[in-house]
């Protein structure tokens, strides 16, 4: 097996036993990037600062293009931020560097994390390593594709409505959205501040636990960071689910769910039963309202957050060829009309409308009330269940270009992942099968707030009794 194919924990074992050096692994992954990234197009730029390979966990990592990384250009894959170089490191980047992590480069994403396919980037789309005619999912499509294609040992992404878990499912890897407040958002360029969370995308559950150990913890610079003790997540890697209660929402298995996805998830449930878990049907009655609620709350917050990108303080500035109103207003209009892509404009307009006078109560305020009902549904279920299991996505990866002209269809691909963000709870996607066409299928587990350990235990048990995570795309 080549070094670039290793999991992070396998690489660390080899480094610890001095069978290989950290520099060897870094070079191997760089060579892999040169060989396959012209097809996959996961990376938008390589790191300019070279690592020193002296840290305790010198694992090559890919960074999503919305995490501020000192001395690197960070653009959220948008024309409006072209040329912006961060003067500081995000909290998670500091932690990665302190652990000895070696940053390979910056990977592609949907512009400002607006998308479920990694097609709205100003750099063009990223392609799914399992089928280069298909999308890798989004918005952390570059992160997921880089790990699936062995172009990174692991990666960091962000998840606002499924942007870690859905691409993890499409690319056949593990993706975890931590509890809101568990991982610092300091230095994450915001989409929707009450929903965004940074998390790991990895080759297996063990790696997920290791990366969670690195990035979790309180950060006083993030007002939403929660000062809770951080456990050693690797201690949750126990191959045992005997006596655990897994809730299955009856609302999850409805029309629109791909039969192959349904079959793979049902097979996973049967395995959990054989392993000693109790499977219990539950109800999340407000789930049908999750997508609508999300696209009111998230777009409203996006409209507010993206108001700062105006060509004045940072990023690109476009001067009008002639003055139409006044020089400042004309510059704003020209910068924003040229700088933002179609999906960004769509969400800014939706959010601005939802927050406007006369509509705030009818849309944004009502959306927040329904959000509370969705959270209450989950809280009620967790009184009798240790975790909740659903598909991660209703379908496998779709073709590039298939849904670009149909935003509503694209939005519905996050139907299973959105509730966890609205409720602020942790959720993980793990591989659970393949379609007849050879595309990965993922299942999602949701847990109680700050109970990532339970999700890792249940996921690890499934992984140890299956081989889906060992399969590799043929590039």
Q: What is the pLDDT of residues 90-131, one digit of tens each?
A: 999 999 999 999 999 999 999 999 999 999 999 999 999 999
Rounded-to-integer distance, Cα 474 and Cα 434, Å: 14
Rounded Cα distance, 305 and 114, in Å = 13
pLDDT band at 56 (very low <50, low <70, confident <90, very high): very high
Residues 6 or more apart in contact with residue 468 via CB below 8 angstroms: 172, 431, 432, 433, 434, 440
Across the chain, mean pLDDT equals 96
pLDDT in tens, 428-440: 999 999 999 999 9
HSE on the CB side for 309, CA within 13 Å? 28
How large is the average pLDDT for residues 294-308?
96
Tokens of 306: 């993206």
DSSP state letters, 322-336: S-SS-HHHHHHHHHH
pLDDT of residue 411: 81
pLDDT at 255: 79
Does residue 322 sit within a domain?
yes
Q: What is the pLDDT of residues 309-339, one digit of tens each?
A: 988 888 889 888 777 778 888 899 999 999 9
pLDDT of residue 54: 87
Catalytic residues: 64, 139, 163
- State the Cα–Cα distance between residues 30 and 50, nearest whole angstrom: 12
Query: What integer pLDDT is reported at residue 446 of this predicted model?
Result: 98
The domain total for the chain is: 1
- Asked if pLDDT for residue 52 goes beyond 80, the answer is yes
Sign of the dihedral through C-alpha 402, 405, 408, 411:
positive
Does the structure show a pLDDT above 80 at 82?
yes
Q: What percent of the chain has pLDDT over 90?
A: 89
- Asked if the structure places residue 152 within a domain, the reply is no
Residue in 45, 66, 65, 80 with CA at minimum distance from that of residue 344: 80
Best CA proximity match to 202, nearest among 14, 60, 3, 17: 60
What integer pLDDT is reported at residue 256 of this predicted model? 83
What pLDDT shows up at residue 175?
Answer: 98
Could you give the strand order of the β-sheet that contains 174-177, starting from the edge strand earlier in sequence?
A: 43-46, 102-107, 60-64, 154-159, 197-202, 174-177, 427-434, 440-447, 387-391, 245-249, 278-282
Euclidean distance between CA atoms 417 and 157, whole angstroms = 15
Instruction: Give pLDDT tens digits for 172-207.
Output: 999 999 999 999 999 999 999 999 999 999 999 999
Q: What is the pLDDT of residue 413?
A: 83
pLDDT reported for residue 412: 80
**Res. 20 pLDDT band, cuts 50 70 90:** very high
Residue 280 located in a structural domain: no
**Does residue 375 lie in a domain region?**
no
User: What is the pLDDT, as a whole number, of residue 88?
Assistant: 96
User: Can the peptide bond before residue 26 be classed as cis, meaning omega within 30 degrees of 0?
Assistant: no
Decide if pLDDT at 138 tops 90. Answer: yes
Is 308 among the domain residues? Answer: yes
Over residues 208-215, the mean pLDDT reads 98
Asked whether residue 8 carries a pLDDT value surpassing 80, the answer given is yes
| Share of residues in the chain with pLDDT > 70 (%) | 100
User: What is the maximal distance between C-alpha atoms in the chain?
Assistant: 72
Spatial neighbors of 79 by CB under 8 A, at least 6 apart, are 122, 316, 338, 339, 340, 341
pLDDT in tens, 277-292: 999 999 999 999 999 9
Q: Which domain holds residue 360?
A: 288-368
Residue 408 has pLDDT above 80, yes or no: no
pTM of the model: 0.96
198 pairs with which residues across the strands? Answer: 158
Pairing mode of beta strands 154-159, 60-64: parallel
Q: Which range (354-358, 405-409, 413-417) has the least confidence?
A: 405-409
Distance between CA atoms of residues 21 and 139, nearest Å? 33
Q: For residue 342, is it within any domain?
A: yes
Strand (E) positions, 108-235?
A: 154-159, 174-177, 197-202
Q: Return the minimum-mean-pLDDT range out of 151-165, 239-253, 325-339.
A: 325-339
Q: Please indicate, yes or no, if residue 363 is contained in any of the structural domains.
A: yes
Structure confidence at residue 335 (pLDDT): 93
pLDDT for res 374? 98
Which 8-state DSSP code applies to residue 255?
Answer: T
The pLDDT value recorded for residue 438 is 98
Q: CA angle, 129 as apex, 269 and 208 as ends, to 5°?
A: 50
Asked whether residue 321 is domain-assigned, the answer is yes
Would the pLDDT of 399 be above 80?
yes
Quick one: tokens of 64? Answer: 């999503």
Where helices occur in 356-406 by DSSP H, the ranges are 366-381
Which token pair is 119?
């097609």
Predicted confidence at residue 229, as pLDDT, reads 96
């Amino acid at each position: 097996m080549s070094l670039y194919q290793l999991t992070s924990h396998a690489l660390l074992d080899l480094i610890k036993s001095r069978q290989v050096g950290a520099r060897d692994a870094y070079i191997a992954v760089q060579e892999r990037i040169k060989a396959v990234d012209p097809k996959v197009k996961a990376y938008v730029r390589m790191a300019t600062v070279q690592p020193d390979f002296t840290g305790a966990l010198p694992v090559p990592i890919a960074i999503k293009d919305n995490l501020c990384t000192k001395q690197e250009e960070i653009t959220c894959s948008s024309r409006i931020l072209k040329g912006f170089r961060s003067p500081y490191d995000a909290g998670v980047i500091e932690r990665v560097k302190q652990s000895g992590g070696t940053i390979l480069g910056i990977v592609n994403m949907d512009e400002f994390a607006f998308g479920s396919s990694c097609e709205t980037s100003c750099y063009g789309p990223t392609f799914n390593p399992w089928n280069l005619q298909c999308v890798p999912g989004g918005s952390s499509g570059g992160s997921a594709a880089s790990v699936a294609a062995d172009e990174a040992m692991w990666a960091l992404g962000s998840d606002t409505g499924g942007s870690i878990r859905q691409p993890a499912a499409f690319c056949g890897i593990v993706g975890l959205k931590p509890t809101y407040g568990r991982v610092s958002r300091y230095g994450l360029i915001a989409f929707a501040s009450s929903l965004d969370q940074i998390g790991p995308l990895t080759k297996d559950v063990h790696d997920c636990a290791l990366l969670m150990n690195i990035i979790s913890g309180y950060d006083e610079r993030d007002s939403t960071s929660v000062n809770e003790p951080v456990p050693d997540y690797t201690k949750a890697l126990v191959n045992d689910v005997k006596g655990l209660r897994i809730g299955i929402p009856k609302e999850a298995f409805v029309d629109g769910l791909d039969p192959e996805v349904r079959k793979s998830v049902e097979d996973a449930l049967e395995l959990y039963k054989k392993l000693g878990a109790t499977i219990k049907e539950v109800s999340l009655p407000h789930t049908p309202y999750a997508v609508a609620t999300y696209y009111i709350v998230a777009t409203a917050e996006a409209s507010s957050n993206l108001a700062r990108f105006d060509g004045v303080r940072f990023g690109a500035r476009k001067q009008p060829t002639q003055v139409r109103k006044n020089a400042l207003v004309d510059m704003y209009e020209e910068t924003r009309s040229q700088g933002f892509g179609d999906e960004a404009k769509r969400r800014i307009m939706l959010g601005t409308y939802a927050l406007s006078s006369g509509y705030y109560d009818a849309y944004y305020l009502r959306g927040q009330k329904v959000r509370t009902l969705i959270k209450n549904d989950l809280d009620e279920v967790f009184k009798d269940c240790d975790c909740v299991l659903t598909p991660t996505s209703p379908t496998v990866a779709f073709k590039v270009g298939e849904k670009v002209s149909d935003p509503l269809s694209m939005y519905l691909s996050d139907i299973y992942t959105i509730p966890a963000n609205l409720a602020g709870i942790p959720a993980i996607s793990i591989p659970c099968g393949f379609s007849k066409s050879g595309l990965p299928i993922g299942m999602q587990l949701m847990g109680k707030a700050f109970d990532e350990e339970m999700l890792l235990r249940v996921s690890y048990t499934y992984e140890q009794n299956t081989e889906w995570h060992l399969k590799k795309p043929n590039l």
